[in-house]
């Protein structure tokens, strides 16, 4: 049967998966030039379950945006059209069901591999300077779409393909050509094209096993194709029986195709299993017991060294291997603690990041409710910082931001939480602190900032800051929400800036929120 006939049979098959209504309409809508962000938000908002999933991922470390995203309209505005489309397609792809026909194809393992490939693609391309990473996750996720199509539309034949590949260790593409007459990369490409996918998503599917076949001039697309190709090698380290072979190919390919440094490659290898586990939570796909690449390679080396040994030698080797693994496990646990801590810190200033602030505020609110105690929040904004950056340059601005954070940190209690809220904004959580006490703290910080000088190798700089304070007893207030609490501090900050900056304002509604006395 000719290739065109096979494709027609696949696309005409009643077992071909279909895209959900919202995803299908979104692809059509984003292809039109007159589509507005409001149109996209209105379409996605029609599916309440999908909207909730998108907001969950948008507010996770997957994106690490400084502000909380509260609506699909806001998500479209902040993430952008392509990113929202990618999320819609990701959830659509990961929820496609099995076909009606019987098959031994392991769908669960396929979803895990696909998710790992998406994560790996994102990790890889984020290391490439000026690369377009907006849609890389969905490109990596969809690269093996053709395998799913084969398993749904011709399950018996594809079961035989999988059996031969596993038993005879043959190249899957070669076996697909022999038994079916077409490779899964071709099938995935044509089905995605049939669904109306844009070229930016189509070509990585087509070339994910042979990136050299892309001959176009689009640099960003070429980088995407290379990252997707490398992600497949990286994913095979996690899932294949010969991880050391794919590890070597990945390292060589990463240097040759994307000019990644050894430091970049090591960072990717170290982060992969942690990022895959996190992505599993974000996309409601539970991934169990993901081993690190280092641990997988260690085990592979042990298996290799045990070959052709007699019983005594093998027993000795096993004991040594057990000791080595225990040591490696301890080292990995220590490294994971360090990585967890780094994930909570802002890369520039060294204080906590926005995500850690949101989690900590949640905990402090719960504690304040249990104890019926006061809780205060201070939002801090460096005055006229955009002008400062325009005048002295962003490098000097970064230097001052870091030093500014140190100034704040120096004048806070050990159990207060200082975090970077975003840009030149910082936030302080003050547990068991009344409004009067919070005002004293804020004024102390304001004076400290005003009096502080920041000196680099060239000259000395001074800045001031505005402070917005909000206080309440969450357990006593009616209709308390964390978001309203932050908004109140933000209103107070706006008032401080509106009244001339370099001052402290406290949120004071016309009607008192609470009554509190000790």
The two tokens of residue 429 are 């959580």
Query: Do 1-17+97-291 and 354-506 share a fold?
Result: no
Least confident interval from 68-72, 116-120, 449-453? 68-72
Q: What is the pLDDT confidence band of residue 303, given thresholds at 50, 70 and 90? A: low
3-class secondary-structure state, position 225: helix
CB–CB of 503/446 below 8 Å?
A: yes
Q: Is the pLDDT of residue 271 over 50?
A: yes
CB–CB of 205/142 below 8 Å?
A: yes
CB burial of 60-93 (b: ≥16 within 10 Å; e: otherwise) equals bebbebeeebeebbebbbebebbbbbbbbbbbbb
Q: Is the pLDDT of residue 423 over 50?
A: yes
The two tokens of residue 331 are 């080292």
Q: Is the pLDDT of residue 340 over 70?
A: no
Q: Is the pLDDT of residue 185 over 90?
A: yes
Query: What residues pair up with 376 in beta bridges, in sequence order?
Result: 430, 471
- The pLDDT of 439-445, averaged and rounded, is 95
Distance, CA of 422 to CA of 354 (rounded, Å): 7
Q: What is the pLDDT confidence band of residue 308, given thresholds at 50, 70 and 90? A: low
Whole-structure pTM over 0.85, yes or no? no
Query: Who's near 26: CB < 8 A, 6+ residues apart?
Result: 40, 43, 44, 85, 88
Percent of the chain with pLDDT over 90: 50
State phi, psi for 191 to the nearest 5 degrees. -70, -45
Distance, CA of 23 to CA of 89 (rounded, Å): 6
Distance, CA of 308 to CA of 227 (rounded, Å): 38
The two tokens of residue 116 are 């790992």
Instruction: Determine the Cα angle at 353 with ends 351 and 357, to 5°.
Output: 105
Least confident interval from 22-26, 56-60, 181-185, 197-201? 56-60
Q: What is the pLDDT confidence band of residue 515, given thresholds at 50, 70 and 90? A: very low
Percent of the chain with pLDDT over 70: 92
Biggest CA–CA distance in the chain, Å, is 85
Q: How far apart are the first and last CA of the chain?
A: 85
Q: What is the pLDDT confidence band of residue 289, given thresholds at 50, 70 and 90? A: low
CB atoms within 10 A of CB 316: 11
CATH homologous superfamily of 1-17+97-291 equals Hypothetical protein af1432 (1.10.3210.10)
Q: Is the pLDDT of residue 315 over 80?
A: no
Q: Is the pLDDT of residue 428 over 90?
A: yes
Distance, CA of 187 to CA of 193 (rounded, Å): 10
Helix-, strand-, coil-residue percentages of the chain, each rounded to 5: 65, 5, 30
108-123 pLDDT, tens digit per residue, is 889 999 999 999 999 9
Q: Is the pLDDT of residue 139 over 90?
A: yes
Specify the DSSP class assigned to residue 146. H
Specify the DSSP class assigned to residue 513. S
Q: Is the pLDDT of residue 102 over 90?
A: no
CB–CB of 220/131 below 8 Å?
A: yes
Q: What is the model's pLDDT at position 65?
A: 72
CB–CB of 434/374 below 8 Å?
A: yes
Q: What is the pLDDT confidence band of residue 379, given thresholds at 50, 70 and 90? A: very high
Q: What is the model's pLDDT at position 221?
A: 93
Q: What is the pLDDT confidence band of residue 518, given thresholds at 50, 70 and 90? A: very low
E strands present in 94-197: none
Average pLDDT, the chain: 87
CB–CB of 209/232 below 8 Å?
A: yes
Higher pLDDT, residue 325 or 422: 422
Q: What is the pLDDT confidence band of residue 154, given thresholds at 50, 70 and 90? A: very high
Distance, CA of 488 to CA of 468 (rounded, Å): 8
Distance, CA of 322 to CA of 326 (rounded, Å): 6
Domain edges within the chain: 1-17+97-291, 18-95, 308-343, 354-506
- Under CATH, which architecture does the 354-506 domain have? 2-Layer Sandwich (3.30)
232-257 pLDDT, tens digit per residue, is 999 999 888 888 889 999 999 999 99
- Give one word for 432, left, alpha or beta, with left for phi > 0 and alpha for psi -120 to 50: left
């Amino acid at each position: 049967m000719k290739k065109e006939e096979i494709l027609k049979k696949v696309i005409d098959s009643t077992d071909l998966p279909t895209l959900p209504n919202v995803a299908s309409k979104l692809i059509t809508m984003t292809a039109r030039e007159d589509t507005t962000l409001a149109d996209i938000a209105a379409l996605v908002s029609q599916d309440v379950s999908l909207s909730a999933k998108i907001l969950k991922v948008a507010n996770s470390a997957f994106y690490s945006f400084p502000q909380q995203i509260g609506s699909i309209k806001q998500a479209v505005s902040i993430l952008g059209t392509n990113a929202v489309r990618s999320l819609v397609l990701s959830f659509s792809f990961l929820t496609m069901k099995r076909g009606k026909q019987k098959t031994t194809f392991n769908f669960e393992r396929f979803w895990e591999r696909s998710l790992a490939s998406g994560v790996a693609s994102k990790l890889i391309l984020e290391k490439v300077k000026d690369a377009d990473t907006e849609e890389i996750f969905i490109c990596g996720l969809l690269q093996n779409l053709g395998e799913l199509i084969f398993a749904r539309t011709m399950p018996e034949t594809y079961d035989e393909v999988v059996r031969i590949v596993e038993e005879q260790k043959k190249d899957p593409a070669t076996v697909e050509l022999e038994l079916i007459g077409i490779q899964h990369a071709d099938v995935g490409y044509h089905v995605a094209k049939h669904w109306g996918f844009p070229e930016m998503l189509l070509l990585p599917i087509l070339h994910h096993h042979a990136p050299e076949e892309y001959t176009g001039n689009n640099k960003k697309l070429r980088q995407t194709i290379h990252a997707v190709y490398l992600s497949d090698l990286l994913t095979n380290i996690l899932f294949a029986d010969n991880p050391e072979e794919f590890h070597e190919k990945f390292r060589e390919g990463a240097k040759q195709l994307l000019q990644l440094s050894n430091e970049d490659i090591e960072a990717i290898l170290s982060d992969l299993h942690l990022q895959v586990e996190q992505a599993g939570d974000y996309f409601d796909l539970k991934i169990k017991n993901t081993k690190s690449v280092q641990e997988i390679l260690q085990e592979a080396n042990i298996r290799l060294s045990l070959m052709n040994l007699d019983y005594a030698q093998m027993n000795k080797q096993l004991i040594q291997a057990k000791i080595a693994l225990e040591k490696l496990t301890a080292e990995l646990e220590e490294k994971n603690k360090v990585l967890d801590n780094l994930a909570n810190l802002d890369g520039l200033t060294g204080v906590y990041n926005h995500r850690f602030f949101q989690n900590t505020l949640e905990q402090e609110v719960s504690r304040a409710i249990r104890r019926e105690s006061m809780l205060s929040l201070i939002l801090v904004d460096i005055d006229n910082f955009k002008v400062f950056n325009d005048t002295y340059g962003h490098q000097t601005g970064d230097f001052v931001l870091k030093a500014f954070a140190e100034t704040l940190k120096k004048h806070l209690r050990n159990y207060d939480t200082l975090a970077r809220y975003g840009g030149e904004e910082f936030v302080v959580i003050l547990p068991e602190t009344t409004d009067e006490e919070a005002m004293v703290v804020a004024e102390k910080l304001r004076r400290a900032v005003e009096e502080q000088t920041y000196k680099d190798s060239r000259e000395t700089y001074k800045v001031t800051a505005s402070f917005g304070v909000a206080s309440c007893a969450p357990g006593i207030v009616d209709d308390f929400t964390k978001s309203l609490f932050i908004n109140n501090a933000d209103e107070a900050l706006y008032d401080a800036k509106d009244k001339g900056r370099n001052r402290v304002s406290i949120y004071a509604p016309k009607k008192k929120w609470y009554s509190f006395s000790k």
